Amino acid sequence: MFEHIPPFAGDPILSLNEDFQKDPRPNKINLSIGIYFDDAGRIPVMDSVKQAEQMVVAKGGPKPYLPIEGAANLRAAVQQLLFGADHEAVRSGRIATIQSVGSSGGLKIGADFIATWFKGSQVWVSDPTWDNHRSMFEGAGLTVNTYPYYDPATGGLKFAQMLATLRGLPSRSIVLLHACCHNPTGVDPTRAQWDELIPVLRERQLIPYLDLAYQGFGDGIEADAYAARALATAGVSFFIANSFSKSMSVYGERCGALSVVCPSAREAALVLGQMKFTVRRNYSSPPIHGGQIVATVLTDPALRQSWEVELGAMRERILAMRKKLHAVLSAKVPGRNFDYFLTQRGMFSYTGMTIAQVDTLRETHGVYMVRSGRICVAGLNSSNVEATAVAMAAVLAG
């Protein structure tokens, strides 16, 4: 009955993380998956999140189904987090938001929605992007293309080529953009570049689809929402999927949201209705527990403040690791410029290492990174950063 089914090749990120867990070497180093680890190499339980969970548990009560679109308090808090409570788009009710099963769940609901209601539209993702973007949009039946993005020659952005490609797209094309902390490269447009990009998106009537999975890891919670706010202010209609997995360290709670910024409250109601239909046909409604933890952190003033401080410390620790890696590598490999470790933002850096070098690092030195050469800088800590830099230098020296 099932002989015709091909074996699953595995996911390039999740399978690597599983291989790491099985590796018996005591000094192995995990820079593969996009998870924030603390300086002791553990996934932190943030104090604000722990307290919020205790409050949720103390409240007790029954566990009914949530509405299809999720909990009202979380949905409102998400809009305020993304756009600011005073933003005209929030106040006028022209944003349709659903609570989703991780931001992955939101991305896929949005993709299904687009496949139904924008039949002729194709999707354009950055070259490169998070592998699962392509999988999710293709899984929804959409055609996925790429626009130029990362420039291996400079370690920066191919901004002119990116703009030129976007200018040539048919109207209503879907343009997937990383709102901050680009995965896998760590290379983001500057504010000035966003300001140049947004009129092109608006004039060409393109439909941006923002992925905001690392809010707070770039330059700060507010700063990392710049693109989302600027698009909303410019009157562009767009999708945005956001995640709490990383920013609250609640990966397994599967907490995220999908928002669609619309021209009017009337259109937002139509969009919300069809998003609900899409959810109902998929998983009916989202889970309660994690969403209530997130909503509590976002809305309780004291918890909100301590969350911002904790997230700020995580961002600072990543920056310190970037500096350390840069310093050791620059000293050990004098002819090579490693400044990209300092300019790239967020959890990830593109090291420029080849597949063969990545394989040697893993096999010989027990350092795990994605085969594209992406490292999760948040996997570095004061006990392993030196060893990582030494191993990378050895492999680079060939």
CB of 351 to ligand KET, least distance (A): 15
In sequence order, what DSSP letters do the residues of 296-362 get, joined into one string? HHHHSHHHHHHHHHHHHHHHHHHHHHHHHHHHHHHHHSTTS--THHHHS-SSEEE----HHHHHHHH
The verdict on whether 246 is a catalytic residue reads: yes
130: annotated active-site residue: yes
Given the complex with ligand KET, which of 28 and 202 has the nearer CB atom?
A: 28
Q: Which stretch binds ligand KET (CB under 6 A): 158-166, 243-251, 282-290, 310-318?
A: 243-251
Tokens coding 143: 């055609």
Shortest Å, Cβ 90 to ligand KET: 22
Q: Does 130 bind ligand KET (CB under 6 A)?
A: yes
H/E stretch holding 239:
strand 238-243
Considering only 256, 290, 346, 366, the residue that binds ligand KET (CB under 6 A) is 256
Q: Does 375 bind ligand KET (CB under 6 A)?
A: no
* Choice from 213, 240, 293, 361 touching ligand KET (CB under 6 A): 213
Query: Which of 158, 246, 276, 324 is the catalytic position?
Result: 246
Tokens of 206: 């393109």
User: Under the criterion CB under 6 A, does residue 121 sit at the interface with ligand KET?
Assistant: no
- Candidates 245, 306, 351, 384; binder of ligand KET (CB under 6 A) is 245
Q: Which of residues 96-115 bind ligand KET (CB under 6 A)?
A: 102-104
- Of the residues 112, 188, 211, 224, only one is catalytic, namely 211
Query: Active site residue: 130, 224, 276, 324, which one?
Result: 130
Strand-pairing partners, residue 174, are: 123, 207
Counting Cα atoms < 13 Å in the Cβ hemisphere of 59 gives 11
Shortest distance in whole angstroms from residue 31 CB to ligand KET:
10
Structure tokens at 160: 């002119």
Q: Let me know: does 74 contact 296? Beta carbons within 8 Å.
A: no
Strands 238-243 and 255-261: antiparallel
Q: Return d(Cα 354, Cα 396) in angstroms, integer.
A: 10
Site residues (CB under 6 A) for ligand KET, limited to 15-54:
33-34
Half-sphere exposure of 304 (CA within 13 A, CB side): 11
Is the separation of the CB atoms in 262 and 96 below 8 Å? yes
The verdict on 253 binding ligand KET (CB under 6 A) reads no
Output DSSP code: residue 375. E
Of the pair 290, 366, the CB lying nearest ligand KET is at 290
For residues 366 and 88, what is the distance between their CA atoms, to the nearest angstrom?
51
Point out the residues that are catalytic. 130, 211, 246
Interface residues with ligand KET (CB under 6 A) are 13, 33-34, 102-104, 130, 132, 183, 211, 213, 243, 245, 251, 256
